Structure 1
């Protein structure tokens, strides 16, 4: 007996709300009860990919494809409205279509959703118009009735949507909006965005990314339009705001004393901002700060020294693709998570954070890392690129992490390798390589002749307690590398180590016990070859590894 279909409709609606959109739509074929449930489901999520593929869209046939979407959405909305049912959520994602052709229908759909008490509205129109230039008349004009909704709690606008100057003088009634997201919009006046956001008094989560403003030039007939990035953001009185994500804006002032999370990104990673303004002084309750693509060196050497005094509760700091000083000093009692990712110029990092739990470094250069005071729970993660031509830099990266009691907490992830045949004696070391927590390999030599030199090189730099392979699709070449390494560890394949002329024995001589670990669910009595064959040829999280006792 199908007992699920007999559940109250509110429970069935809750089940549908927890399913992916595609699976939710499929339930209509299960039974009459489920078909009725789908017809009365107050969440309408439409994506153009449900109706056609982007590669099928051509200039000649784009309108015929759009008509399928128009017909389906119109019928669904009318069915709900005719039954007097509320539309709690309306999400529309349209790619690679002519929004001008759909403008009338979009206006009608938004009007129906708003008037029925819609709580969540997500309008994504990111796709380009086929055969059209990037001009201001190829955008969908957002209707004024969207900002008259008192029921909206979440509003997301993304893509080719134009917000007209009329919004500056119109009555905005977004009294219940807690989450607002404005992405890649076009404003006809540079003050509209500030005006719109400031009239969301209970907003808690704000995202603003890569929005443009345009002004007509007195050149040509019709006049030419120039697009510029919105240069500044000035917001006042947002006492409820807890999270802000800002990208592509140079000058930001936000009066939000309760802000806890701030992500401030410049839009171009290849051209860091030479100057920017950010009012950190007002964020006294900030817990998480993420800065990306900034030239911080222009601020002055005191920036790091003042940062933690201005933000006494800061627990997480992330700096990504920033142009930093050659030497940075970070001192904080509250800091728990520190991330430095692909920051140029940095040669030395000194951290004095007794409560730090996680430090992550990503980059091609290997700076010296020193931890003056550290928690016994600290985990250090280093993501790097290995190159046989620069052996000493990688080895020094590991050995120059100080003090030595940090080494057992270090995890290394190797993303890419450029293996070439090393010179004779390249692997000789004068001291025992440090023992680290984990080594993850996301690359493998293509040349089988370099299998042993590659692994021997890594183990001449560090002795991991465990190794895992995350090599993407496990094709035959990648499996051959893992199988070679397994046989090497188990002593079934001869290899020539490079410590014969040195008094310090290498990892090969120190190895005692090897255990195989696999994330796949297979027969516990299966051999290694069975595990290897079970690895998927498509990329996923499944992996195989080894636990070593030295």
Structure 2
């Protein structure tokens, strides 16, 4: 026993003697400092840092404990600094100097036994000759004490940001990197694992591969070496396998496939009782079984993914614990089922997009019966019936090319805050279209506190005459907001009258140089008193109800309320103008309405 150990032993004996007199004291805090450091080594770095607030003793222990939260070794940042100091830099020389810099920096981390929470290494090499130096850097990385999160990106002339072919030059990361002590998260970019060696055990829980190469041996080695993996993410990876069964990862909770290249045709989720989240944006077939759906809480399937069997997704009852779902389904697949149904107690967010590639194919019914659903967004499909029984619904969104059938709310949501309809690709606006829009806006205004109608369309033909239709008497909709994005500078006559007659919007917004729209508004406001050819009690023309108005323009700074001509003559500019018409509606026997029209 050396002198330092004897001194530490005497201090410990004195502390234990004091502790024996007062059992209520904190015994752990009396341990020697090097023992407390060993305790901190066993904790995640975040928890070790939090211990500094326990007491003055622990604050002193943490201040003497060697740790750093993040080390970022990026060749791009190093190159920028080199460019500032050198007039004509040599790229190969900068890359060589960066590798020397990283070598020294990593060596210091190993020598000082500094514990690092996250280490990011981004290296660019000119050719495969430099791979031996990168191997040395990776070896030093594995020796850095207790790295919990590791990001590796080795960029070559062929790999890094695109699909990797077999004859490309790309770096192969040694599989031994998985054996790093304490490693919990690994992010690999633009590489491939080098050998088929198997690591006895790895603490890795999160594996993310981006623009990487995956073959059958890699999958086998990962499953053998990393039994604790809970999260798998593949982003634009090149797969040299046809089928990937997620059941080989027994503890997997989250799987994500974002784009893919080459041969991966099937992703199979079979008898996987621990999987909680599945996301696929890849051009693959995702095969499920009822036993593999029982634990899923988050399900995201994009338009590129296909699913099998389809009946599991036509009725979401097969996902009893589902809380969030984003489904994009081809309409031809639903034609035989006729009905899409979701009746989940836990479901809170639902995004449903039904793609229509063939005419004559139509889903007949959408039935949503979810007591805890708070958000529902529906795209396309043009169903015949929409039934919604969601008393907790807060947001209801619809996106399509046609005005949808009026939804039937079996129980009126008490907290519906936001209703949003986006209608696009419309060219011809008929009188029937404006009548349907009016019915939709009236129903939605009664249900929600805020109703937003978005028109992103081409206007070629408008067939609307306000005096031929019903009176505009019930100005009850003080919560309707109209957003207009037109693809033409010139609009036909009747478009403005049709929109205001059908929506009676509280707020309407149009962006861009729509001089015709502004000009017609100004003309109607200038003659807001009743026309001579109208009866005194006529209320079919919306401008008869305007008592006062204010006008603002985002380009013109002066007040244009009293000079509408200057507003119409505003010159075109590169800025997208926004003109606001604040309209004060007349008080009548039906309602005391005040409206804001922003154009």
TM-score for the superposition, normalised by structure 1: 0.65
Contact 1:389 1:422 in 2 (8 A): yes
The reply on whether 1:250 has 2:252 as its aligned counterpart is no
* Corresponding position of 1:339: 377
Contact 2:245 2:270 in 1 (8 A): no
Give the aligned partner of residue 438 of structure 2.
399
Q: Call closer, same or farther: CA 1:258–1:439 in 2, change over 3 Å.
A: same
Question: What does 1:531-550 align with in structure 2 at a 5 Å threshold?
Answer: 548=583, 549-550=594-595
The alignment partner of 1:458 has SS state of helix
Q: Distance in 2 between matches of 1:327 and 1:488?
A: 45
Partner SS state of residue 428, structure 2: helix
The yes-or-no answer on 1:182 pairing with 2:222 is: no
Deviation, 1:158, is: 1.0
Q: 3-state DSSP class of the match of 1:401?
A: helix
- 2:232–2:256: 8 Å Cα contact kept in structure 1? yes
Q: Which position in structure 2 is the counterpart of 1:57?
A: none
Q: Conserved in 1, the CA contact under 8 Å of 2:466 and 2:541?
A: no
Which residue in 2 is equivalent to 1:353?
390
Match of 1:330 in 2: 367
Among 181, 206, 214, the alignment partner of 2:255 is 206
Unaligned runs of 5+ in 1: 1-12, 15-38, 53-60, 213-226
The answer for the alignment partner of 1:264 in structure 2 is 301
2-side partners of 1:446 and 1:453: how far apart? 15
Deviation at 1:286, TM superposition (A): 0.9
* Pairing 1:187-336 to 2, within 5 Å after superposition: 187-190=239-242, 194=246, 198=249, 201=251, 203-212=252-261, 227-234=262-269, 236-237=271-272, 239=274, 241-248=275-282, 249-253=284-288, 255=292, 257-267=294-304, 276=310, 283-295=319-331, 297-298=333-334, 300-301=336-337, 304-305=340-341, 307-308=342-343, 311-323=344-356, 325-334=362-371, 335-336=373-374
Residues 221-245 of structure 1: per-residue CA shift (max 9 Å, x gap): xxxxxx3233122355553x44321
Within 5 Å, give how 1:136-155 maps onto structure 2.
136-138=166-168, 140-149=171-180, 150-153=182-185, 154-155=206-207
Which is greater in Rg?
2
> Does the 8 Å CA contact 1:336/1:355 hold for their aligned counterparts?
yes
What's the Cα RMSD here?
A: 5.1
Which of 501, 505, 508 is the aligned partner of 1:464? Answer: 505
Query: For structure 1, which segment, 280-289 or 391-400, has the greater mean C-alpha deviation from structure 2 after superposition?
Result: 391-400
Deviations 1:35-83 (A, max 9, x none): xxxx96624274859858xxxxxxxx98678667656655654554444
Matches within 5 A, 1:21-32: none
Corresponding residue for 1:129?
158
Write the distance in 2 (CA, Å) between the matches of 1:75 and 1:266: 48
In the aligned structure 1, how far is the partner of 2:330 from the partner of 2:155?
27
Structure 1 residues 437 and 386 mapped into 2: Cα distance closer, same or farther (>3 Å)? farther
| 1:417 correspondence with 2:426 | no
- For 1:126 and 1:278, locate their aligned partners in 2 and report how far apart those are by CA, in whole Å: 42
Partner secondary structure for residue 430 of structure 2 = helix
Q: What is the Cα deviation at residue 157 of structure 1?
A: 1.3
Question: Where does residue 217 of structure 2 map in the other structure?
Answer: 165
2:546 is equivalent to residue 511 of structure 1? yes
Alignment check: 8 A CA contact 1:411 1:437 kept = yes
- How many residues align? The count is 461
| Matching residue of 1:44 | 72
Cα distance in structure 2, aligned partners of 1:304 and 1:132: 38
Check conservation: 1:119, 1:152, Cα contact below 8 A. Answer: yes
**Deviation, structure 1 residue 289:** 1.3
C-alpha deviations, 1:234-284, integer Å up to 9, x for none? 355553x4432123331333736443211122427xxx7797575866632
Q: 1:356 touches 1:374 (CA, 8 Å); kept in 2? A: no
Q: Is the 8 A contact 2:464 2:495 kept in 1?
A: no
Q: Within 1, Cα distance between the matches of 2:354 and 2:551?
A: 37
Asked whether the 8 Å contact 1:142–1:163 carries over to 2, the reply is no
CA apart distance, 1:362 = 0.6
Following superposition, the deviation at residue 443 of structure 1 comes to 1.8
Q: Structure 1 residue 389 and structure 2 residue 428: aligned? A: yes
Give the Å deviation of 1:94. Answer: 8.3
Structure 1 155/168 Cα, relative in aligned 2: closer, same or farther at 3 Å? closer
1:302–1:427 CA distance, 2 compared to 1 (3 A): same
Which whole-Å CA distance do the structure 2 matches of 1:316 and 1:298 have between them? 21
Answer whether contact 1:417 1:444 (CA < 8 A) is retained: yes
Q: Could you give the per-residue CA deviations for residues 401-430 of structure 1, whole angstroms, max 9, x where no partner exists?
A: 398364563634435332336457388533
Any stretches of 5+ residues in structure 2 without a counterpart?
Answer: 1-44, 47-66, 81-89, 186-205, 562-566, 584-593
Deviation at residue 84 of structure 1 after TM alignment: 2.7
Aligned to 2:419: 380
Find the residue that maps to 1:88 and give its secondary structure: strand
The residue that corresponds to 2:31 in the other structure is none
- Conserved? CA contact 1:347–1:366, under 8 Å: no
TM-score by length of 2: 0.61
**Deviation at residue 389 of structure 1 after TM alignment:** 1.6
**Aligned counterparts of 1:69 and 1:493: Cα–Cα separation in 2:** 74
Closer/same/farther in 2, CA of residues 260 and 133 from structure 1, 3 Å limit: closer
1:6 alignment counterpart: none
| Alpha-carbon distance in 1 for matches of 2:294, 2:116 | 35
